[in-house]
A and B are shown apart, each in its own frame.
Chain A
């Protein structure tokens, strides 16, 4: 199975400042159809997860443009340009290129 590794596991950030989370996969996530099925999900406290980003860099419906995704192959990054209070929660990367779909360990974003 592919292994997904996120860093950092905890990220204290000042409101209005940027935040960045990295995700590395143990093998390339390029699918045979040429796409890379790497997603980012947000889970606010007490809430179900919510899809933020899919196929590395496409924002899901309703996701603010302060969230952006980048990367290729095995290395990916989620960036928040200016952190707001509602961004507190745990962020997961997830690969869907091959079964089983697997998540990173999660990164807890908290306000300093």
Chain B
């Protein structure tokens, strides 16, 4: 059974940093692309970033709203995906969801087939 467990959320001041982790199990982690999505309170879903599978070199893509501030990475030996968030803004306040791609080994498209329960990040002074 595919399981994704996020951790690392919490309250942080504007301008500070936070790192989220997503611990995966139930599949061969390196074979799938991973992505973070977020949902601000009472709002819709927003894609944040994406990291390709090992076969595609683990290359990354970012939403314009987080580019140059957020970094997605992965440790295939530990089955963990990370989201390093720097220079946080109040508008980054959201539940952050870790997802796994539906498709094995895709490189140019992403469908979030599996979702974690999410972790809340609150950016406030």
Contact = CB atoms under 8 A, between A and B. Distances in A.
Tell me whether A and B are bound partners. yes
Given A48-B115, A48-B118, A54-B102, A103 B46 contact: yes
B117 interface: yes
B45 interface: yes
Contacts, number: 61
A96 B114 CA distance: 15
A97 interface: yes
A96 B117 contact: no
Interface string B37-68: 10000001111001000000000010110000
Contact of B110 (A41, A101, A104, A105): A101
Interface of B: 35, 37, 44-47, 50, 61, 63-64, 97, 102, 108-118
13 contacts: A31-B109, A37-B111, A39-B111, A48-B118, A49-B45, A49-B97, A54-B111, A60-B102, A94-B111, A103-B44, A103-B45, A105-B44, A106-B44
Interface of A: 31, 37, 39, 41, 43, 48-51, 54, 60, 90, 92, 94, 96-106
Given A48-B117, A51-B113, 16 more contacts: A37-B109, A43-B45, A48-B97, A48-B115, A49-B37, A49-B97, A49-B112, A50-B115, A51-B112, A54-B102, A54-B111, A90-B44, A96-B111, A98-B109, A99-B61, A103-B46
